[in-house]
Structure 1
């Protein structure tokens, strides 16, 4: 069953359920209250009749004034029979001729209620449902018996019930119309979302969902479009990654093959053979380093439990990263300024975080003229590490690319060092950004949360 049909049925079903419950409750309430109202009206009318009768001379009861008074009201009331019975059980007046069945019923009702002030009973005369009301009052000088035909009341009730059913039918039709309108808007968005998913499953990420609604479907469509954009970016990044890695691997392999062929053919003298062997070793080492970096980056990004987090002192991690680059510093005659006055605790994988800082420091050493400066600042629950050099800084448009895989600067090698550093920082929940200093040089900022014991 489609969602459209489910929406139709749910709307109509809800309306029908509400109306059925309403009709059942209202029908029972209406009938009870209508009969209760008839009982009250009959009692008031019986008191009026009793007053008219008892106000006359008891020795000579004249019912003509009562008959004329009753005839003036007859068109306004529902009563069928009005009967006056004396205290001894004699019928003194009836507005209609009573047959045997009616007389028997009246006498039975009189015998059962003559000791009460008033009473009610629902029965039938000539197979017609009736409400019997007997009123004797406190004096019980006369008893007024009113027989009301309930058939007219029930007929009115049935008409009212049919009116409610017609209203329910029109309401269901109206609800179905609204359901069609709403479902078309909902289903339209879902169908467009389905088409976009089918396109994405075929690796086509140019299909976006055009949904203008602000409901949950619109929110899902918006998030889906964002997801498609991210997947497309990732897909393009993977394509560039494969292109770059193939280029990075092809160049040294071509050189190694060329030197190997020359060695095999013996066209090199001894001095050139040694040089060729050294270059083969250099290219192999470079390939090995490149492959290790690629493997390392893949593990960082894909293996869930690759990191072993523990409480560490950030200053100590940076000191160890500086020591790893000590030989590079000496060869470049570059100084590092780092004199922390605090102990900042972080939750980290000490080995991996040291690697990330080492890559950033190494990059700064490469482009520095004389000095690399490292500072740590703490404010409330956050820290900020600043690593900067006094070199030429980043070229225009370069800052947005430096963390991309295989992007090389002016003197870059593999183009993976900063990518690995960013991936490690991301896994720690730290943020890294790069910028040019106002004065000459480049600056890296690493921000994160300070670890505090729970």
Structure 2
């Protein structure tokens, strides 16, 4: 399959739309142009006819005032106004006698197609017609007018033309001074001009479209180039190269996509580094009890230890086995918390009751360490939707961690604000610089820590509840862990 760039596709579609629009407009405009030409020709003929009538009437009045009779031996032709469409005209009286014409020999056959419009005009109304009827080539207009005298006697300029036009119904008007002027125009002349105009417009549109296509192609290349850079960066990430950077400065949504891509790459890099540390830490944590078990087992087998030490060695092997099992169980539990949704059973509970349950379970450990458990819980209820058992497990992990590092006391508070805030604070030595960012990493623990999975488990549970957990330095000493849960 041949691949086509976005720019070529856009330009190609643009050209198809333009050409199709031109063709459609041409089809739609063909009939509209024809109607417009007919209408314009008709209006122009009427205007030219009235101009001629005014000229004839002015001359008739002039001769009447001067008591001068027309001398048709020196015929005169009344001309139409400049820019008119009327090419030829003829004047007839009510009997159909041709009084005046400007026809050439080739155009005399047209006089046989005007009797009907003359008859209508003699009724006192201007009339129009076309010839041929189906696809008009000529359009004519008949306009009645009167003269003050009857001096306008028949005069045929071209003797070879017809002298009389047969009018349907005979003489319709008995007014001896009534005349009819019939003007002719070739529609093809105007159509040719209109076609030339349309052709010029079409050529202009095509040229403009080509220019727009070229400009669009240039601009499209500028748009597509950042996509190429983004594609190359994606290929590098696909090869697990998370140090790629792209510089896209377009000032639009594409630049936003580039920034989002960089943030994604940073997250992937952090996740990849976290997974590497997890594997390293997991191998170390699992290796320690395994090496102890193997060492003591081989020592017993090879007789390294005295027989009376066998019981103590077996106790150590059993203890390390339990520790190894607990470590594996916590890893499996953490994996389920992060990946499975059906391990959670949500219901509405009161966070105050959860805190009291946590304190009851941690109380034996606190007594053993000599640490007091203090709490500050408001009287108002703090109802929210959580998985009761999972949230208690998260609180137990936090409080147990605080008890292990506390000197004398651990303080648990509940605040009802825009969200529910649970604070677990100890008075121990706190975290060293650089440990605040890593405290929730798997297998990261301090000198008094256990498996290093308690806090990551608490974090996974809180985040599955759409909450947030983070750590701060306490006001005096120790560390302050904060859980924020939606109300």
TM over 0.5, shorter chain: yes
Match of 1:333 among 359, 363, 370: 370
Q: Does 1:169 align with 2:198?
A: no
1-side partners of 2:232 and 2:13: how far apart? 26
1-side partners of 2:182 and 2:112: how far apart? 13
2:227 aligns with: 190
Measure how far apart 1:397 and its partner are.
Answer: 1.9
1:273-352 superposed matches below 5 A? 273-340=310-377, 341-352=379-390
Listed one character per residue, the Cα deviations across residues 301-354 of structure 1 (whole Å, up to 9, x for unaligned) are 011222111111111111111222122111101111124223211111110100
Measure how far apart 1:291 and its partner are.
Answer: 0.8
1-side partners of 2:240 and 2:447: how far apart? 35
2:149 aligns with: none
Relative to its length, the structure with more helix (as a share) is 1
Q: Does 1:43 align with 2:38?
A: no
Match of 2:401 among 355, 363, 369: 363
2-side partners of 1:61 and 1:314: how far apart? 123
Q: Does 1:427 align with 2:435?
A: no
Match of 2:102 among 80, 92, 95: 95
Tell me if structure 2 keeps the 8 A contact 1:406–1:415. Answer: yes
Tell me if structure 2 keeps the 8 A contact 1:117–1:137. Answer: no
Match of 1:122 among 107, 130, 149: 130
Listed one character per residue, the Cα deviations across residues 127-186 of structure 1 (whole Å, up to 9, x for unaligned) are 992111111159881101000122221111121121012112212211221331233133
Question: Secondary structure at the residue paired with 1:359?
Answer: helix
Tell me if structure 2 keeps the 8 A contact 1:42–1:146. Answer: yes
Measure how far apart 1:187 and its partner are.
Answer: 2.7
1:283–1:41 Cα change, 3 Å: same
2:7 aligns with: 4
Measure how far apart 1:116 and its partner are.
Answer: 5.3
2-side partners of 1:29 and 1:363: how far apart? 88
Match of 2:187 among 150, 155, 167: 150
1:44–1:61 Cα change, 3 Å: farther
1-side partners of 2:69 and 2:279: how far apart? 121
2:478 aligns with: 441
Tell me if structure 2 keeps the 8 A contact 1:15–1:171. Answer: no
Question: Secondary structure at the residue paired with 1:19?
Answer: helix
Measure how far apart 1:421 and its partner are.
Answer: 0.5
Gaps of 5+ in 2: 147-174
Tell me if structure 2 keeps the 8 A contact 1:402–1:409. Answer: no
2:427 aligns with: 390
Q: TM-score, normalised by structure 1?
A: 0.90
Q: Does 1:378 align with 2:416?
A: yes
Question: Secondary structure at the residue paired with 1:79?
Answer: coil
Q: TM-score, normalised by structure 2?
A: 0.84
1:133 aligns with: 141
Gaps of 5+ in 1: none
2-side partners of 1:166 and 1:134: how far apart? 39
**Which moves more between the two structures, 194-203 or 236-245?**
194-203
Question: Secondary structure at the residue paired with 2:130?
Answer: strand
1:19–1:391 Cα change, 3 Å: same
Listed one character per residue, the Cα deviations across residues 369-416 of structure 1 (whole Å, up to 9, x for unaligned) are 11111111112x521111111112221221111111111123222111
Listed one character per residue, the Cα deviations across residues 41-98 of structure 1 (whole Å, up to 9, x for unaligned) are 221222233344356279987388x986834x46532211111111111110012345
Q: Does 1:81 align with 2:88?
A: yes
What RMSD over aligned residues (CA atoms) do the two structures have, in Å? 2.7
2-side partners of 1:243 and 1:36: how far apart? 91
1:279–1:154 Cα change, 3 Å: same
Tell me if structure 2 keeps the 8 A contact 1:120–1:132. Answer: yes
Tell me if structure 1 keeps the 8 A contact 2:117–2:128. Answer: no
Q: Which of structures 1 and 2 has the bigger CA Rg?
A: 2
**Which moves more between the two structures, 10-19 or 22-31?**
22-31
2-side partners of 1:325 and 1:201: how far apart? 47
1:248 aligns with: 285
Question: Secondary structure at the residue paired with 1:219?
Answer: helix
Tell me if structure 1 keeps the 8 A contact 2:48–2:81. Answer: no
Tell me if structure 2 keeps the 8 A contact 1:50–1:142. Answer: no
Question: Secondary structure at the residue paired with 1:325?
Answer: helix
**Which moves more between the two structures, 425-434 or 103-112?**
103-112
1:363–1:247 Cα change, 3 Å: same
Match of 1:235 among 249, 255, 272: 272
